[in-house]
Structure 1
């Protein structure tokens, strides 16, 4: 236990609100695998050692007295204490407050809300899946003391907390601190004292942290000579044939902060103009902050096995779910952040790694369709961002994409499958963008296409409304929204042999349409008989020019579009309600019916009546006529 003199000033701080909530959930929940805490602490220690190696490039004196990086685990089985110490970069007072008292990682609030909303079992899975960094130590410890001295500093600091809402921080004598680096002392809970057992710790380290690029030592007591537990060899420098699936999974968990299995592993060495080694993993589940706008990739850059940065943008944003590393000897060790962003070498590496990841996904789709669909369900919405952003790989990404459609139940279809099964006279790939697939299947605009056996893509991700605008065609067929413009369905006979709606229109319908146009002229651009309706009485579509209905909604909600264009209202001439309304000659009734039809179309489109009170009053008058 670390002791300090009474003269040392003690500062007491409350945890940031998000930290307090997270600690409360961990302490008061039951976790299926608390072993994760040791992996998290070892990963942090390895990062600290790698950061020191990088800073020592410019300032060799930081490592001069102790050049060999290491992580040392000291056991106190009798006292129920576990110590993890590294000789890495260490922390100053301000860095300790920032690192241990706040959660700066974006998306944490959403992550915790998911845990709180989940059932007990699902919450457990989330914790194991995503990891909780340093704070995981409170799953096993009643109190945690952290003593740290930043490399090159003459000050050392003690951070201490019981994980119940606050922490103390105070200076300590240099004699009580590491020469540099950080020492974390865990005072274990009664039911977690097995974590001070050598057998338990060795098992966990070998299973979960056997390939961190820093040697790990272990000592049975504070006075014992430490023995080497792992040698710190870099996994990515080995041949793929010498690495087991379990070793890859262990390494993946260490760099990703997740606790699932990788769905796909890409490990290769590039030789030629540029030489580098890349090791990339596609997770089997979504990172909790995948859609956070500030989220960046999880790919680290090494130069000659020296960690440089995890902010090098080695993959495009639409592959930000991929985690891993690139190690190259083609860059100088003192490469600056500005040079990283502008380096043609990094641009070539980015292109090469991106191509290999996409090629691996293509091979997975060909060899194991079920496994690929699991990846697609987790990351398809992100991959499709590339169709919008990456012109060079647009065709490749479109071929890789999978879609739910109106003709294929709950399964997925590729665009190649769609084109192969298209109608003989079909010149377009039809799509419907909107909410979830089940809502889209119930859309009235889909009825005429279904009646003619024409397959329609059901696009339920927000990015879908944008990439279809940037992708002019696929294998010669243009993309066309079924909620925009005329449907042109007269070219395709109905599968039941029925006539089109326009051919069945009664003579007096034209008079009603003219009346409706007069009454609704300031709310709709046009009213016309529809070929796309077979069951519903009415629907709304966008005009030929401008945006389709879903894209218009997205732009309006984002403040990018001040006023929506007037929609076109289509009516089903064969529907008994339309025929009955058209047959009535009473102007007041037809006026109420006309506005009700427009409101009905809005409701079917996922909107609400423009004037709810007027809608209710018109409905009341119609009911009174039936009384």
Structure 2
């Protein structure tokens, strides 16, 4: 037998210690995690047997067994599922949070320091797939014995959770996996927290794992033995046995294990039969989240193509919502047989936070991921799920505004991706999104509410994009809109820079950027005398700044600032240019139009100075400073900041003497 002792990695060791010593409102969750792992193992074995007819396994009696031993103070959760090889044990069990250990460790520390360790720690454990290690909350030592289906050699894994674990061969291991917890001594007299107490364990299973489709078996609880008879009665009984003609040997029957969970799939039960608590526990099972879902969604289709779905919208965004390699999708079953865990074909990427189960009747049991992408029935289910999720969120807006606000705060940025990826549902997506607006500094607005507030004569939905609300509110582009009382959407998500050019309208109202093109706010045009008065200056500035701007003109949108840069429709915004550079790509060169405020003293002073000394080189320097100020005000980046600082310093020095 080969025994190997392996040290946990440094970060993993720290994470394990944090988990073991974290304070939880309930430690019962460890049992849910172990049973869920066993359920997954049985699902995988059933699927493997379907795909490989030559696999030497018995699938006639797949089940989970939970055994308690009060005398030894142990609890064992065992299954006869897919099992693991030695390599898989080291890879899956011997490594904590293989991808993202440092991130989860930092988050756990942050949660503990902020005094929110109970809830936050539990959430993070689920999100990073390290629920197996929650066993160490209640155990001094954990022993895992497993044998891969079809293999002839088993593996034993053992650890006290201190800093290392051992892995050794286990020749007589049965198929599947068993996890034995050597329980810590309890410092409470509450029997419901005695995890070697079968009654306490049954209560936990009923609460957390009643919906598991595989049978969970436990030995029946036997009533206590009757008290011993008095000595005289015992003696009489002994005499009677001696006088009997025939002695009968009494054999005590071994109690058969009994199933302690209902097993019926939640999605197959009528809605009136399922409690909110059962929905919540099932959501926690499929999502590895520890909070309640924001909304539960049920739907079914009958007729030539039948399926049932039970979906959940989480109450908060998962940590990996924007990770490129994060898993997404819902669980796919066919006739109650598990097919795959993360069926991406059923959920578009912009709804990747949706969790749940789809159970179809007419799909092939050995369907592959590649076929799924092309399957017509899968596409029909996907379309229906998308429409149902979007309509459910729309209903929240009308019936439960607080939930609707939570949805947008947590998932609105991800859902905006659908404006680009899902043009068929674009209008439905626009209906459920909310946007920051100048109408209210605290509450974001739906587009429908924006349109309802539009004054008579306004034909467009005005917006501006940028990096932050505070920066946009101070933008020179806002001045005329603020003065005239027009509401403007303040779009600060990176995705906003892209979808606004792809989406033309909402409710027959066109989207119009206040930072691009000519804007008609119903004011008077620049009169001929003013245009003539500034004609020479505008021509000279256009020639002087030709390397940077397309043209220089007088502005309708400025009330207090001297100048502003305006792009053409379709031009890259300064924020989008920064995004390109952050990705290592140089954006195409874009020349904007410089607009001047004819009433600003700096502009009128520059006009007068140009009339008096048109060849003064200092004026050209002032023109470049004016352009630089406008570029900074719109959030752009100076090509040569040092040169600009020098120009400003020269102008300040000149003003002093």
Question: Normalising to structure 2: TM-score of the pair?
Answer: 0.85
Q: Does 2:153 correspond to 1:158?
A: no
Separation (CA, whole Å) in 1 of partners of 2:263 and 2:388: 27
Aligned partner of 2:300 among 269, 275, 290:
269
Per the alignment, do residues 49 and 181 of structure 1 end up closer, same or farther by CA in structure 2, a change over 3 Å counting? same
Q: Does 2:177 correspond to 1:182?
A: yes
User: Which residue of structure 2 aligns with residue 291 of structure 1?
Assistant: 322
Is the 8 Å Cα contact of residues 430 and 456 (structure 1) preserved in structure 2?
Answer: yes
Aligned partner of 1:391 among 412, 416, 423:
423
Aligned partner of 1:601 among 585, 608, 630:
630
Q: Secondary structure at the match of 1:260?
A: coil
Q: Deviations over 1:501-521 (max 9, x none)?
A: 889969765544444333322
Separation (CA, whole Å) in 1 of partners of 2:424 and 2:6: 52
Aligned partner of 1:449 among 461, 465, 481:
481
User: Which residue of structure 2 aligns with residue 623 of structure 1?
Assistant: 652
Separation (CA, whole Å) in 2 of partners of 1:386 and 1:626: 56
User: Which residue of structure 2 aligns with residue 30 of structure 1?
Assistant: 23
RMSD over aligned Cα atoms = 2.9
* Matched pairs, number: 609
Is the 8 Å Cα contact of residues 449 and 455 (structure 1) preserved in structure 2?
Answer: yes
User: Which residue of structure 1 aligns with residue 77 of structure 2?
Assistant: 84
Q: Deviations over 1:49-77 (max 9, x none)?
A: 11111122245676865622222222234
Which is higher, the Rg of structure 1 or of structure 2? 2
Q: More displaced, 319-328 or 339-348?
A: 339-348
Q: Does 2:75 correspond to 1:75?
A: no
Q: Does 2:479 correspond to 1:479?
A: no
Q: Does 2:570 correspond to 1:575?
A: no
Is the 8 Å Cα contact of residues 501 and 574 (structure 1) preserved in structure 2?
Answer: no
Following TM superposition, by how much is the alpha carbon of 1:384 offset from its aligned partner in structure 2, in angstroms? Answer: 1.6
Q: Does 2:587 correspond to 1:551?
A: no
1:77-476 alignment runs, 5 A limit: 77-102=70-95, 109-118=102-111, 119-130=113-124, 131=126, 132-174=130-172, 177=173, 179-190=174-185, 194-219=194-219, 226-312=257-343, 313-476=345-508
Per the alignment, do residues 426 and 201 of structure 1 end up closer, same or farther by CA in structure 2, a change over 3 Å counting? same
Per the alignment, do residues 572 and 144 of structure 1 end up closer, same or farther by CA in structure 2, a change over 3 Å counting? farther
Is the 8 Å Cα contact of residues 82 and 196 (structure 1) preserved in structure 2?
Answer: yes
Is the 8 Å Cα contact of residues 265 and 282 (structure 1) preserved in structure 2?
Answer: yes
User: Which residue of structure 2 aligns with residue 3 of structure 1?
Assistant: none
Separation (CA, whole Å) in 2 of partners of 1:347 and 1:545: 34
Is the 8 Å Cα contact of residues 107 and 288 (structure 1) preserved in structure 2?
Answer: no
Separation (CA, whole Å) in 1 of partners of 2:138 and 2:624: 65
Q: Secondary structure at the match of 2:553?
A: strand
Separation (CA, whole Å) in 2 of partners of 1:168 and 1:607: 58
Separation (CA, whole Å) in 1 of partners of 2:527 and 2:204: 73
Per the alignment, do residues 500 and 202 of structure 1 end up closer, same or farther by CA in structure 2, a change over 3 Å counting? farther
Q: Does 2:35 correspond to 1:42?
A: yes
Q: Which residues of structure 1 form unaligned runs of 5+?
A: 1-7, 494-498
User: Which residue of structure 2 aligns with residue 564 of structure 1?
Assistant: 589
User: Which residue of structure 1 aligns with residue 237 of structure 2?
Assistant: none
Is the 8 Å Cα contact of residues 52 and 88 (structure 1) preserved in structure 2?
Answer: yes
Per the alignment, do residues 35 and 448 of structure 1 end up closer, same or farther by CA in structure 2, a change over 3 Å counting? farther
Q: Deviations over 1:347-381 (max 9, x none)?
A: 11112222222222222222222211111111111
Aligned partner of 2:554 among 529, 543, 568:
529
Following TM superposition, by how much is the alpha carbon of 1:447 offset from its aligned partner in structure 2, in angstroms? Answer: 1.8
Is the 8 Å Cα contact of residues 329 and 346 (structure 2) preserved in structure 1?
Answer: no
Following TM superposition, by how much is the alpha carbon of 1:324 offset from its aligned partner in structure 2, in angstroms? Answer: 0.4
Q: More displaced, 238-247 or 593-602?
A: 593-602
Per the alignment, do residues 156 and 615 of structure 1 end up closer, same or farther by CA in structure 2, a change over 3 Å counting? same
Separation (CA, whole Å) in 2 of partners of 1:476 and 1:242: 45
Q: Secondary structure at the match of 1:26?
A: helix
Per the alignment, do residues 248 and 544 of structure 1 end up closer, same or farther by CA in structure 2, a change over 3 Å counting? closer
Q: More displaced, 532-541 or 371-380?
A: 532-541
Is the 8 Å Cα contact of residues 308 and 358 (structure 2) preserved in structure 1?
Answer: yes
Q: Deviations over 1:99-128 (max 9, x none)?
A: 113357766654444334444334543222
Per the alignment, do residues 25 and 588 of structure 1 end up closer, same or farther by CA in structure 2, a change over 3 Å counting? farther
Separation (CA, whole Å) in 2 of partners of 1:139 and 1:551: 48
Following TM superposition, by how much is the alpha carbon of 1:260 offset from its aligned partner in structure 2, in angstroms? Answer: 1.0
Following TM superposition, by how much is the alpha carbon of 1:418 offset from its aligned partner in structure 2, in angstroms? Answer: 2.1
Following TM superposition, by how much is the alpha carbon of 1:46 offset from its aligned partner in structure 2, in angstroms? Answer: 0.7
Separation (CA, whole Å) in 1 of partners of 2:312 and 2:452: 33
Separation (CA, whole Å) in 2 of partners of 1:135 and 1:531: 65
Q: Secondary structure at the match of 2:330?
A: strand
Per the alignment, do residues 557 and 128 of structure 1 end up closer, same or farther by CA in structure 2, a change over 3 Å counting? same
Q: Deviations over 1:13-34 (max 9, x none)?
A: 3445663453243235433443
